[in-house]
Structure 1
Amino acid sequence: NTGKEVFDLKFLVDHFPLAYGIDRTTGANPIRQDLDNLKDAGTMYGNIIYHKAPIMMRQLERLMGKDKFQQGVREYLKKFANGNASWPDLITILDKHTTADLQKWNTVWVNEPGRAIVDYQIKKTGNKIDRFIITQTPEYGTGRIWPQLFEITLFYPSGQKEITVDLNAASIELKEAEGMEVPLFVLFNSSGQGYGLWPLDEGMFEQLYAIEKPLGRASAYISLYENMLNGRSIKPKALLGLFITGLQKENEELNLKLITNYISTIYWEFIPKAIREEAAPGLEHALWSAMQKKSLPNHKKLLFKTYQDIYASEEGRNRLYAIWNTQKAPEGLKLTEDDFTSLAFSLALRNDKDPEILAKQLEKISNADRKKRFRFIMPAVSSDLKERDAFFKSLELKANREKEANVGAALYYLHHPLRQVSSIKYLPKSLDMLTEIQTTGDIFFPQNWLQSTFGYYQSKEAAKLVQDFLKNNPKYNPKLKAKILQTADNLLRAEKLLTD
């Protein structure tokens, strides 16, 4: 790995999944937003500003070329050295340093939300490419294009060929590919800098872990997941299987983190309960044996945490209970007090046969702040429904919502898939409280509140509750409505994917 490859991989994994997580939703916001009311300032912060903006800046630099981009930025800094300046001022100056139409580019990339759906077609004679056509359409709405530069890699039995694509129209012909042999498969966005929903080649699926560069694999993992969510190319159950086979093969930590996160999400949100129960034993076994084979502690930890998240068997319970009870981690694995705490919560969530598990864990915690946090979350994880009801009721008081990170953690357990039969009844009130949450809490609290509440539902009933709430409140604060649509997006997709 060169320094640039390490940077590019980290850039891809850090920014793209989080930016897509908002941009693929019907509540997506643009990078640049108008602020009509200062009290709404907090609603503007989020994963688009933090994660799509850096992607956009890299595209802008590629579009102009490094030198021209630097010249423009220098001129901007000089001109506004002692004054206020805005983004449109920068675009106006940069526009003079490039032949591209930056104002038009800026409209779609910065002033509007969304991403392109990219497709391609190869016309061939025998085994030779005659034409290689790449098209783009907006995920929502019509008539927009995202001019951008990205790479594709054509894979052959004897090697590979990377080509740079300048996708500056709704449809382009890739002249460089003409006359080349038809590849085994094409990997779009192989350098991880293009932004959109990329086409997938079925031929890639069995070759996935043979892609040499960690960056190429990461790009493929993200594309597989995004396509699965859009109901194209691969179904959730098949993708879960594909990622499970990678647990032993993937040796790049950032990539392992990516696929273990995707495994958890697909397992809890995008396959029905019956298939989950069918898949659990194989997944448990794959995670545990991969964990034992890995030599690096961080790799072991990622696999252990995923095992703890999904386990359903008696064997899994006994294994984890013994680790928790003796406070001894498996060989080569480092577990902290926080890890043992979350282990206790995982066991308690499954109504463990040791009813004292939470009380015992409380005794084991020495740090006063951690003790306080644990005590706060305990009733949300309790196997006693009355305690959980009382906990949710207590959140109506602002004083009980002071420590917002703890509230978020507690809500995650309260609404965990294993508890949803009894927790779905809290959803209408959770939505009713949102305006108050926004006016009384920190700027990130509405997002946290909604994400921890709706993050894991997949049922028709839960989807209907969200849709009814929005229907019954047509004049609802648009910024908060957007947050609801962003955080309930997985739920609305799951409902669709599970009925298909």
Structure 2
Amino acid sequence: MKKIRLLALSFVVFSSVYHAQMKSLSKIESGVSYELAQLRKSTLRDIKYELNLKIPENKSERISGTEVLTFTYKKQNEAFLLIDFKEDPSSLLSVSVNGQAIQPVLENEHVVIDTKYLKSGSNQINFNFLAGNGALNRRDGYLYALFVPDRARTMFPCFDQPNLKANYSLTLTIPEKWSAIANGKLKETIVQQGQKTLSFNQSDLLPTYLFSFAAGDFKNHTEKISQQDSRILYRETDSTKIKNSMDSIFTLYRNSLAYYENWTGIKHPFQKHGLVSIPDFQFGGMEHPGAILFQNSTLFLDANATQSQLNNRSNLIAHEVAHLWFGDMVTMDWFNDVWMKEVFANFMADKSTGASSDKSAYDLKFLTTHFPAAYSVDRTLGANPIRQILDNLKNAGMMYGPIIYNKAPIMMRQLELLIGEEDFRKGVNEYLTKYAYNNASWPDLISILDNHTPKDLQSWNKVWVNDPGRPVIDYDLKYKGDKIEHFTISQKPEYGKEQKSWPQEFEISLFYADRVEKVKVKLDGKQQEVSELKGKVKPLFILQNSSGIGYGVFRTDKAVMSDFSLVKDPINRASAYISLYENMLNGTGANPQEVLHFFAEQLPKETTELNLRLISGYISFIYWNFLSESSRLKESGNIENALWKALQVQTTKNNKKIVFDGYQGIFQSQQAYDTLYSVWKSQKPPQDVSLNDEDYTNLALALSLRNPNNKDLLQEQLTRIKNPDRVNRFKIIMQAASSDQKIRDDFFNGLMQKQNRTNESAVGSALSYLHHPLRQQTSIHYLPKALDVLQEIQKTGDIFFPDNWLRSTFGSYQNPKALDVVNQFLLKNPDYNAILKNKILQATDNLRRAQILVK
């Protein structure tokens, strides 16, 4: 009787504990919630990972792995320790905790460890697992690990949050002919039975998103960086590009490194340097210390590269090297401050590359690089602030975009102007020193900068960092005779009724037949009298923000266009081009056809390469987005002629190439088709225009859109491509460009399967051909399904893919039916993810504006 009672009591206790545990398990949230991250930060330290991976050459075979995870644990009252692993339970083969084998439990993307197996102090957990492929980017002949922002957990069990930095010891077993690189220095290589085992030194202290490796059939090139042998792995096959680029790549890297060491006063903070050039890389680059990944097409250029291509390469390298201090050494505490690492990387890259050029060249590059891109989002109804709210790391990827890459550097420049360059530098250096190899937040930086200026940074911070949108800046002008009696500037938000103002500096220029008079303005409030202009003689026209430093929609009169020959300064011209375009979009300036004609008139006159590229891009945008189909047909001959005339008039090879690309982008006439087909077929471009293999591929695709039976054309182009990675890319894109509707349908329907979206760069390009304006009558029916799959795209794709998917799909539509699809989707999904909804509104902004602007 006593035994029965004890058994009954034991059963009751067991049942109570079991049900309590099951109830607790049911509350486990997928991803990494802010609450989970905070709990683990308070209980874990001294984290180390020892990983051993066996990588087969065949990408369809699974990668097997073992892991030793050690950490110091502060035991509290929680029932479980959660370790992140976003994989099928069958991939978790075995688990042991402190030497005791336990039954693996994988619940809602977390390995669940009962705390009864753990102790306060040092702990060790061993895993046998099959690595997930989601972030390993396995291609034919190579792979690369890309774990930002929360994708390390798709490959191995880990604490996947940025403020739990760890050391990583990695061993890779790979095919003998392969090469590999990782964060740590290569320690040992053992070759046996056609396999090669590489052991790497323990890495420096890193968050999970910066742990990385690449392995595959790469070529190796080694040069000295800081007296240390440093490798680049690459797959480029064009010997001319390799010869023309390799020295430049390493020189740009060394120059950036030297600039940052000098500016910060801190030597390179990691144990080694290493670069990997990735074909069809879905990012520009990724800043893993010792194994920085770069987009191959940006690094390797031929001798005829344009200034824009050269700028892109120097900016990319400078950006990724800057991250070694900003993001890698000092890392954001939570991914809501991911923008901090990106703003500093871009801002410092601009400083680094600007140090080797004159100030005007730097200012023009800054203006044309950042402002149009920032405006492309900040002008929309879906605009997001620089600093956003983040509840779970599974949503962190959606925080990336032009606001953090382009608006944030503009904001930082204004902050530097507000504080003063030297005090700003002192504050940043104090921040880097204080938080070296640790984590910090934006408020941490602001509190330090506050000590270096009497300005009110908190109110400044609200409008620039915490709020979305931009100001509309107008002026009220009155004359007395031929003299200015008063000149008042006013600003208001582009959207909403909230009264706020953006403190900032900019310049106003008064243009006369024989001179230009400039006044600097420090705008601080809703309205401000510019007393310096009182008594000035009436000018022919006024150009606000002539130096291009100010941010917002600056009222620009049509008179600027009629007397534009007076605008001699390239920066003044670039600022005017941007303002004319932005005012056109807002319906407050010249209409689309007037602006199109003006830009076309400038094509033979604009000799500054960056400006020519800017207006050439604007011509394409206006032509395809804001002219009706009938208007396009009327205008096409004139625009083609203007571009072809400019091709003859422009004198530099780079400018001629820009104009040729513009012609190739908008042509519609049979005569233009015949001319370009002849260029492609004979591979003989117009005089002084240099075309490489990729240029001929792009030309073939442009021709294919105008060819009702393009199978032979595309097949011939395919046979011309020799690089295997570029062959694979073209095979994807040619399906979307096909004149056969069934092939296009099959291609799009195939994208509903995850495995057909793995090459995100190629898929994004393919979608732009699928939805090209010349194809939209037969492509509009894809739009509902493109929206339906968006959340799946976000869950399975990399950080830029949802935006790329949306912009490549909706970016050129003006049909009201396309807008109806968007509106109906949003109405049917009132509780849709707020960040993704904003992405939709951003990508369809031109479509909305077209309903008003297209006549």
Q: Same fold (TM over 0.5)?
A: yes
Name the structure 1 match of 2:769: 413
Deviation at 1:330, TM superposition (A): 1.3
After TM superposition, the structure 1 stretch with the greater mean CA deviation from structure 2, 414-423 or 208-217, is 208-217
Q: Deviations over 1:313-368 (max 9, x none)?
A: 11101101111111111111111111111111111111256651111111222222
Name the structure 2 match of 1:72: 427
Name the structure 1 match of 2:594: 238
Counterparts of 1:78 and 1:359, CA distance in 2: 58
Matches within 5 A, 1:183-262: 183-262=539-618
The amino acid of 2:648's aligned partner reads: Q
Task: Number of aligned residue pairs: give it.
Answer: 499
Q: Deviations over 1:449-499 (max 9, x none)?
A: 001000100111101111111111010011111110111111111122125
Counterparts of 1:484 and 1:203, CA distance in 2: 36
1:331 to 683, 687, 708: 687
1:99 and 2:454 matched: yes
Native 8 Å contact 1:209 1:217 kept in 2:
no
After TM superposition, the structure 1 stretch with the greater mean CA deviation from structure 2, 359-368 or 105-114, is 359-368
1:46 to 391, 395, 401: 401
Identical columns (%): 54
Matches within 5 A, 1:24-63: 24-63=379-418
Deviation at 1:82, TM superposition (A): 6.2
The amino acid of 1:55's aligned partner reads: I
Query: Normalising by structure 2, what TM-score?
Result: 0.57
Query: Normalising by structure 1, what TM-score?
Result: 0.97
Matches within 5 A, 1:277-426: 277-352=633-708, 355-426=711-782
Native 8 Å contact 2:583 2:590 kept in 1:
yes
| Structure 2 counterpart SS, 1:248 | coil
Deviation at 1:170, TM superposition (A): 0.3
Deviation at 1:433, TM superposition (A): 0.4
Deviation at 1:94, TM superposition (A): 2.0
The amino acid of 2:477's aligned partner reads: I
After TM superposition, the structure 1 stretch with the greater mean CA deviation from structure 2, 246-255 or 142-151, is 142-151
Name the structure 2 match of 1:479: 835
Name the structure 1 match of 2:850: 494
Would you tell me which structure has more strand in proportion to its own residues? Answer: 2
Instruction: Give unpaired runs (5+ residues) of structure 2.
Output: 1-353
The amino acid of 2:483's aligned partner reads: K
Counterparts of 2:479 and 2:689, CA distance in 1: 53
The structure with more radius of gyration: 2
Counterparts of 2:787 and 2:403, CA distance in 1: 23
TM-aligned CA distance change 1:389 to 1:67, over 3 Å:
same
Native 8 Å contact 1:291 1:304 kept in 2:
yes
| Structure 2 counterpart SS, 1:180 | coil
After TM superposition, the structure 1 stretch with the greater mean CA deviation from structure 2, 76-85 or 41-50, is 76-85
Counterparts of 1:400 and 1:107, CA distance in 2: 43
| Structure 2 counterpart SS, 1:137 | strand
Q: Deviations over 1:415-445 (max 9, x none)?
A: 0000000100000000000000011111111
Native 8 Å contact 1:209 1:249 kept in 2:
no
Counterparts of 1:354 and 1:462, CA distance in 2: 27
TM-aligned CA distance change 1:380 to 1:354, over 3 Å:
closer
TM-aligned CA distance change 1:68 to 1:354, over 3 Å:
closer
Name the structure 1 match of 2:369: 14
Deviation at 1:387, TM superposition (A): 1.3
Counterparts of 1:339 and 1:234, CA distance in 2: 34
After TM superposition, the structure 1 stretch with the greater mean CA deviation from structure 2, 347-356 or 43-52, is 347-356
The amino acid of 1:5's aligned partner reads: S
The amino acid of 1:135's aligned partner reads: S
The amino acid of 2:665's aligned partner reads: D
Name the structure 2 match of 1:432: 788
| Structure 1 counterpart SS, 2:603 | helix
After TM superposition, the structure 1 stretch with the greater mean CA deviation from structure 2, 342-351 or 161-170, is 342-351
Counterparts of 1:354 and 1:44, CA distance in 2: 40
Q: State the structure with bigger RCO (CA 8 A, min sep 6), 1 or 2.
A: 1
Native 8 Å contact 2:511 2:566 kept in 1:
no
The amino acid of 2:774's aligned partner reads: L
The amino acid of 1:140's aligned partner reads: Y
Native 8 Å contact 2:711 2:738 kept in 1:
no
Deviation at 1:206, TM superposition (A): 1.1
Q: Deviations over 1:7-58 (max 9, x none)?
A: 0000000100000111001111111112111011111111111111111111
| Structure 1 counterpart SS, 2:488 | strand
Counterparts of 2:607 and 2:673, CA distance in 1: 28
Would you tell me which structure has more helix in proportion to its own residues? Answer: 1
| Structure 1 counterpart SS, 2:852 | helix
Deviation at 1:67, TM superposition (A): 3.1
Deviation at 1:407, TM superposition (A): 0.6
Matches within 5 A, 1:77-92: 77-81=432-436, 83-92=438-447
| Structure 2 counterpart SS, 1:249 | coil
TM-aligned CA distance change 1:136 to 1:340, over 3 Å:
same
Counterparts of 1:47 and 1:241, CA distance in 2: 29
Name the structure 1 match of 2:515: 159
